[in-house]
């Protein structure tokens, strides 16, 4: 049978991994896909690199638009990244009747609605397993494996850099800055780590998963995003003493009045499996009404783990290449004309529990003032630690865990607590999730 011809845009780490995996497992992949899959054209601005990787295997050019216009190309794999030229290339490939495979989470989170609509109109597929959690097949699970379920919530460790930093801070008692420098030396963090440590990368991925889970359009601009750069060793230690670990989680939940969509540091009970995911690994916990809790774990980045997802998408598209577009799996799992208008809730409307740490004067009445303010805001205390001050010091830490409450009420209570003369500086607030199966 005629091979499927692939045009590869970007021959960096993942592109090179895709070449390697396709070559090493060629026989297995052909048996699964029903026909050979071959990368026949490669586009990259770095022609020397492209020729080193693809020499004798594919033609090489620095003109990506020539590849998406090539009538012999069946599938375009976009591994350039970003939302500029990558968007132009993807839309042009779709316009030319090419199927698209992409690992570009930023592009889909910001422009997925436009891209999927264009693909729907042209009767082509856009596959994006590699855009979320690298080699972990979470998109496939949400779109197909769990299709019988009404998804209730998703909670995921979906950024390996931040998980490595938090693991090292806990294990070695190091500061955030010290571990970030270590992560950069090891190649886990970029020279400019903002996208990772401030939660933006995780928010892109969560936006995609939320859209598939609940059948809503991509709405990245409405995702609450908070990173880990302000976390301290003290909070990690206090969390451990209370039986919790801190992870940067992407959380999306279906509520009667809308969808929660949020990324932030989160206390999780230490006994939960997801709390014990360490280093650069990813894990996604999904709660469905029929299946209960399912956990997806593996490498979220790297050449071959991500290439594994790219090649899986190539096989899927190859299998469905000649199928009636009406009988393909919809991009966001739900039929395009049946997407929900369920709104994304503002952060003030989110309901969760909280860890609150405050520096206070060590004198009678201070704790009573704090608890009175919480009671006035209908916030119930679940647990508390009051540290003995070091000898000669007049201030100490109070740490409180609350029961479930609304973010708006916590905001108001924190403002009142910080206004107390006995409280020094800002109250540290970290949200808390039990993630219990129901």
The domain spans of the chain are 4-135+303-338, 140-299, 348-432
Report yes or no: 324 and 196 within 8 Å, Cβ to Cβ: no
Structure confidence at residue 56 (pLDDT): 85
CATH architecture of the domain formed by 348-432: 2-Layer Sandwich (3.30)
Give yes or no for a contact between 369 and 378, defined as CB atoms under 8 angstroms apart. Answer: no
59 forms bridges with which residues in the sheet?
41
Phi-psi region of 48 (alpha: psi -120 to 50; beta: other; left: phi over 0): alpha
Following DSSP, what letter does each residue of 209-234 receive, concatenated? HHHHHHT----GGG-EE--STT--HH
Annotated binding-site ranges for NADP(+): 9-16
Q: Does domain 4-135+303-338 have CATH number 3.40.50.720?
A: yes
pTM: 0.96
Distance CA 402, CA 410 (A): 10
Q: Are 87 and 106 in contact (CB under 8 A)?
A: no
Strands 281-288 and 292-299: antiparallel
Q: How many CA atoms does the CB half-sphere of 76 hold within 13 Å?
A: 31
What whole-number distance in Å separates Cα of residue 260 and Cα of residue 31? 42
Q: Which residues pair with 263 in a beta bridge?
A: 225, 250
- Other Cβ atoms closer than 10 A to 168: 20
CB 161 within 8 A of CB 183: yes
Quick one: tokens of 42? Answer: 């490669």
C-alpha to C-alpha distances, 399 to 68, 238, 272, 368, nearest whole angstrom: 57, 8, 22, 14
Residue 284 DSSP SS3 = strand
Q: Report the chain's terminal Cα–Cα distance, integer Å.
A: 49
Query: Rounded to an integer, what distance in angstroms lies between the CA atom of residue 196 and that of residue 232?
Result: 17
Q: Which CATH architecture has domain 140-299?
A: 2-Layer Sandwich (3.30)
Look at residue 55 in the predicted model and tell me its pLDDT: 83
Q: What residues are designated binding site?
A: 9-16, 105, 190
Binding-site residues for L-homoserine, in ranges, read 190
pLDDT means over runs of 10, the chain (438 residues): 94 93 95 95 94 90 97 97 96 98 97 97 96 95 96 98 96 95 92 96 98 97 97 95 97 97 98 96 97 96 94 95 80 89 97 97 92 96 89 89 97 97 96 88
**Can you give the length of the chain in residues?**
438
Cβ neighbours of 220 (radius 10 Å): 23
Residues 274, 272: Cα–Cα separation, whole Å:
5
Residue 85 has φ and ψ, to the nearest 5°, of -65, -30
| Known binding-site residue numbers for NADPH | 105
DSSP 50: H
Q: Residue 7 corresponds to which tokens in the numbers above? A: 């045009």
What angle (nearest 5°) sits at the alpha carbon of residue 6, between those of residues 305 and 325?
A: 95
Which active-site residues does the annotation give? 205
């Amino acid at each position: 049978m005629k091979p499927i011809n692939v045009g590869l845009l970007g021959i960096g780490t993942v592109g090179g991994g895709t070449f390697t995996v396709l070559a090493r497992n060629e026989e297995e992949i052909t048996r699964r896909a029903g026909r050979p899959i071959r990368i026949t054209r490669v586009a990259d601005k770095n022609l020397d690199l492209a020729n080193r990787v693809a020499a004798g295997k594919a033609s090489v050019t620095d003109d990506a638009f020539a590849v998406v216009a090539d009538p012999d190309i069946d599938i375009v794999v976009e591994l350039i990244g970003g939302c500029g030229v990558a968007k132009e290339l993807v839309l042009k490939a779709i316009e030319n009747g090419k199927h698209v495979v992409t690992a570009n989470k930023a592009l889909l989170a910001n422009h997925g609605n436009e891209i999927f609509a264009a693909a729907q109109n042209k009767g082509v597929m856009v596959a994006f397993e590699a855009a979320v959690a690298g080699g972990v097949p979470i998109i496939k699970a949400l779109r197909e494996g769990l299709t019988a379920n009404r998804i209730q919530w998703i909670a995921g460790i979906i950024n390996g850099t931040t998980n490595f930093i938090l693991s090292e801070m806990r294990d070695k008692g190091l500061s955030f800055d010290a571990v970030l420098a270590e992560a950069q030396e090891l190649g886990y963090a970029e020279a400019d780590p903002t996208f990772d440590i401030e939660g933006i990368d995780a928010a892109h991925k969560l936006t995609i998963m939320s859209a598939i889970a609940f059948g809503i359009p991509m709405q990245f601009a409405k995702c609450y995003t908070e990173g880990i750069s302000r976390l301290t060793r003290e909070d990690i230690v206090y969390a451990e003493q209370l039986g919790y670990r801190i992870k940067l989680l992407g959380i999306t939940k279906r509520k009667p009045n809308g969808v929660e969509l949020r990324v932030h540091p989160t206390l999780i009970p230490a006994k939960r499996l997801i709390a014990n995911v360490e280093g650069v690994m990813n894990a996604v916990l999904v709660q469905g009404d029929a299946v209960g809790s399912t956990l997806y774990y593996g490498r979220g980045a790297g050449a071959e783990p991500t290439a594994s997802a790219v090649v899986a998408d190539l096989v899927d598209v190859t299998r469905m290449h000649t199928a009636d577009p009406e009988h393909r799996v919809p991009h966001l799992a739900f039929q395009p004309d049946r997407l929900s208008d369920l709104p994304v809730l503002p952060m003030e409307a989110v309901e969760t529990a909280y860890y609150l740490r405050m520096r206070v004067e060590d004198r009678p009445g201070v704790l009573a003032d704090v608890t009175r303010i919480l009671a006035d805001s209908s916030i119930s205390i679940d647990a508390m630690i009051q540290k003995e001050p070091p000898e000669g010091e007049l201030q100490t830490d109070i740490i409180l865990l609350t029961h479930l409450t609304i973010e708006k009420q916590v905001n108001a209570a924190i403002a009142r607590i910080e206004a107390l003369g006995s409280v020094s500086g800002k109250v540290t607030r970290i949200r808390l999730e039990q993630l219990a199966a129901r």
